[in-house]
Structure formats: C-alpha cells, structure tokens
Structure 1
Amino acid sequence: MMQTERGGRLPAGDSPLQSRYYIRMSKPTWMRILLGANIAVFLLMTLFGIVVYGDWNGTQNMRVLLFFGAKVNQLIAQGQVWRLFNAMFIHIGLIHLLFNLYALYILGPLVEGFFGHRRFLLIYLIGGLWGSVASYAFSQSLSAGASGAIFGLAGATTVYFLRYRENFGARGRAIVQNMLVVIGINIVFGLSMPGIDNWGHMGGLLGGAAMAYGLLPIYRAPAALQIGAQPLVEEHRTTVEWLWVLGHIALLALAVQQISGQYL
C-alpha cells in the first residue's frame, strides 16, 4: 500500500485515525494478450516448418525465420523495415520462448498494473523497437525474440520504483535493488555466452526506461479527505505523453534511416 505525505496522522482534533492512500492497479490484460501472441506465433512457425519443409524444429529453421521476419540487417536496409517489429514476436527454439514468457509473466503485471494498459503497451512495443534498432546498428547477426521488449519492462519497473521508492518504503527500495541485480546478472550472462543479442537487450532496457520516464503516472491526494483507504487521483497528461511517444517514433525512424545508409 502506497502512502503519501498526506497519508500520515490527521491533524490533532480532526480524528485520531489515519488516512491512507493506495494506487488503483490495472489488470494485466495486455500482458495476457502478448503472452498469447508470442505462443501463437511460435505454434504457427512450428506448423509452417512441418507443412512446408517437413521440419519439426521450424522455429530454428533459417528459411522459416526469414519468412516470418527475423532481424536481418541487409534485408532491413533494402526496405523490409517491418522486420524490426516482427522480430519481437519470433523465438528461436522452445527454451528461448519459455524464458521470455516467464519474464513477461513476472514483469508484465507490475508495469501494466502501475502504468495502465495504454502506457504498458507503448513501453513494451517501443522499448522492443529500440532493442531491434540497437541490434540493427551494432550486431550483424540474425536475431529475434521478445527480450528487447522485456528488458524495456525491466527498465520501466526500475524507473517507476526509483521515482516512488520513498512512498513504497522498504518494498520499493527492495524492488529497485532486485531489478538492478537481475539486469546486472543478465548483462554479465549475455557477455559470457555466445549467441545472445546484448545490443538488443541494452537498447530495449534504455528505450523502455526512457519511455517510462515520459509516461510516469503523476499522483495527487483526493480533494476530499476521508477516513480509511482512498485511491490516489492520477493527473491526466495525455497530450504530453503522446508528444513523448511521437518523439520516440521520430527518433527511431531517423535512426533506421541513418543505419540503413551504411548498407546501401
């Protein structure tokens, strides 16, 4: 339960009771949809590999990966920019899929709960696109996976609890510490293992954190103070938030244009 400065004891003479505030969290609707989408694409790729190529490991078949939109730098430079998006929903093998589904299942409810449905989806998709673009810029290898988007959620979680760490007390500080440890372990693991797209992870992490910074919910106490728990009121900054999103999209487009020029 979150407590603000106004959530302490009421002034003497008003009431001996304490008024506390809480955040009304959103249900993880988009998280569930994204889980289903990633599973559906994996099954579709598997079926496609079996039917077209007689390969039961279709998600690891190069021709299947190319057909469904894995990140291939030369093809993106030739105009297949959609691969930067499609690659977020493609997984190379079952283990790859399961790791990312588990991470999404853990982080998704936190980010969607506190940021809301719209902001969560924007952080996930644009964070994932930053991961794809970073990989496009600095890695020549074919790559795919939701890892960039999930690192974006990790960045968003860290930004949120850094901003409100005092309000959440020990729990908030513990979440920040745990997120930094998990991010650090993943970076070290990625650097020590072959075949891991570290640039995609870093791009997603920083992109998701940057998106979250501009989309952070701003809370205020209700105008009418009541005894007992009350939901905090969220200030609406729709115009500012959409300008922030459009700024990211413009930067992504500019980055893709500049990177593609190196291949032509």
Structure 2
Amino acid sequence: MEKKSIQNTLLMGFIEDIKLRYKTGNIVEKFIFINIGVFIASLLFKVIFGLYKTNGDFIFNWFALEHNFSTLITKPWSIISYGFLHAGFIHILFNMIALYYIGNLFIQYFTQKQLVQFYVLGTFFGGLLFMLSNSYFPLFEGTRPHLVGASAGISAIFIGLTTYMPNYQLQIRFIGFVKLWHLAAIWIGLDVIGLVGSNAGGHFSHLGGALFGFLYVNQAANTKLNIWDKLSGIFTSRKKPLHTVYKSSKKTAPKSKNTDLTQQQIDGILDKISKSGYDSLTKSEKEFLFKQGKK
C-alpha cells in the first residue's frame, strides 16, 4: 500500500507540474503541449480499441482532413483540427522542434495573438490547397489520402516572418550565419520537389500555408495585425509594412525636427534588428525602443 501511495503522489506531482508549465508557458509552448496531448490521446484510443478488435483510429477518422469537399460538409472542423494530429513519433518530433524555434523567433517581433492567427489560418489554407489539388491533378486519381500535421501552420509562420525580414541572420552550428530567406528557399524547394512523391498532398498543404504567410505579410496594412478583420483585403494592391511590437503608431500632427530625428533613430534600430537580431542592440537602444513603445 505504501508503494502504491508513493506512486500516486509522484503521478499527481507530475500532472501538477505539467499543468503549471502549460499555464505559465507562452503560446508556442501551449501549442506544443496541445499537439503532444492529442498525440498521446490518439495512441491510447488505438490501444483501447485494439484490445477489443475494433477501429482504433477514432480520433484520426473524426479529426483528420479527407481529400474531398463533400466530406468536409459533414466534418467542417477537420480543416483546422488536422493541424493538431500527427501520423507518428518522428512526424510530431520534427514538427514540434520546428514550431519551438520558429514560433519563439516570431513572437520576438510580433504578438502571441498574431502567432495563433498565422497558425490557424495557415492550417486552413493548407487544407484548402490540399483538397483542391486532390480534385484537380491526375496524380491523385484512385487514391483517398488524409491530411494530418502542423506543418501548414508552421509554414505560414516561417514564411510570414521571412517575408517581413528576409535578411535576418541565424547562427547555425558548423555552418555560421545564414539569412532567413536562404532557409525559406530550401524549405519551399523541398516542398516543390515533394509534389510528385508519396506525400504529395502533405507538400501541397505546406505550400498553401506558406502562400498565406507570404501574401498576408506582403500586403498587410501598417496597423495592428488583426487578420480576422483584414482577411478580405489580402489580395489588394496596397503594400505597407507589417506592424510589429516595436513600431510606434503614426501621428497625423505635423512632424517637428525632433520627431524626424526620433523616427530616424527608430528606423536605424529596426534595420539593425532585421540584419542582426534584437540581441545585437545595445542597452541604450533597447531602453529607447521601450520608451517609444509606451508613447
């Protein structure tokens, strides 16, 4: 009995630790916890149903995205829910590693709410392109593929970030400094090559998410990034810079010499961030940005 009591105590302590980490973590960590939780739940369902020799893919069948639009009518949630399912351990491992690094870089410059918007809408447009490609290309004739994975949402975040600051450099061990647009070109190139492979549908979805990230950031207005309100204007011809957490709002009053000087300082600091990252700023530059952001 004593051994069982200790085991229960350890289990409860582990569960409480997970709850605490989820509550205190940023949105990237929350998304990772959700994806891992769904993955574990799907495995448990397979085991339980398998013991009774029944269909163990309950979660997969109800929440994965199928290839045709007729099924989407009966399961409309699947065009979003598939972005939280994964086909295996390696699949979720690589996706969560990518989400961790790309997502945390994204929220250094934009808000956590914006990351949610990119993830969800990137997943949506990725699923949409997946179904369109299955309906159009002869490659998919005679097949009934399903789509799962967070890659479309991650692609939207990564390509959106790259579109905004393509010359931002990351230091990679054994390679050195590499610009974001170089990594994005490899990312997109691998998906294009994979369009005729065994996971062609998955690569179409990645490109759908990437296309959304590029188009939105390229056309976004210089106001707060509220995608839900501005989605209808995504294909307009107006081109303005994307709002970040570092920029101060525009003022309609005539600019004085001091205002011009302040704007030049802000522009210089933002340019430095885009080239070398936020950590390259001096203490005085960081304090200056912080004060400007409060105005």
Q: What is the TM-score when the length of structure 1 is the normalising length?
A: 0.65
Equivalence for 1:153: 157
Equivalence for 1:228: 284
Q: How does 1:40-55 map to 2 (within 5 A)?
A: 40-54=37-51
CA shift at 1:234, angstroms?
5.7
Q: Deviations over 1:60-79 (max 9, x none)?
A: x6554103x10113563433
Equivalence for 1:245: none
Match of 1:211 among 208, 212, 216: 216
Distance 1:52 1:169, change over 3 A: closer
Q: Deviations over 1:121-150 (max 9, x none)?
A: 111111111101111222252111111101
Distance 1:169 1:50, change over 3 A: closer
Match of 1:37 among 34, 39, 42: 34
Equivalence for 1:83: 78
Q: Deviations over 1:187-240 (max 9, x none)?
A: 32x2353124121111111112233342422525857x899322164699xxxx
Q: How does 1:2-151 map to 2 (within 5 A)?
A: 29-54=26-51, 62-67=57-62, 69-72=63-66, 73=68, 76-139=71-134, 141-151=145-155
| Distance in 1 (alpha carbons) for counterparts of 2:40 and 2:195 | 30
Query: How many residues are paired up?
Result: 200
Q: Which runs of 5+ in 2 are unaligned?
A: 1-23, 135-143, 172-176, 226-241, 249-260, 267-282
| Distance in 2 (alpha carbons) for counterparts of 1:170 and 1:117 | 21
Q: What is the TM-score when the length of structure 2 is the normalising length?
A: 0.59
DSSP-derived class of the 1:194 partner: coil
Q: Which runs of 5+ in 1 are unaligned?
A: 1-26, 237-264
Q: Deviations over 1:25-77 (max 9, x none)?
A: xx98111000111000000101111112239xx9xx6554103x101135634
Match of 1:181 among 186, 196, 207: 186
DSSP-derived class of the 1:228 partner: helix
Paired residue type of 2:243: P
Paired residue type of 1:33: K
Task: State percent identity of aligned pairs.
Answer: 22
Alpha-carbon contact 2:65-2:146 (below 8 Å) kept = yes
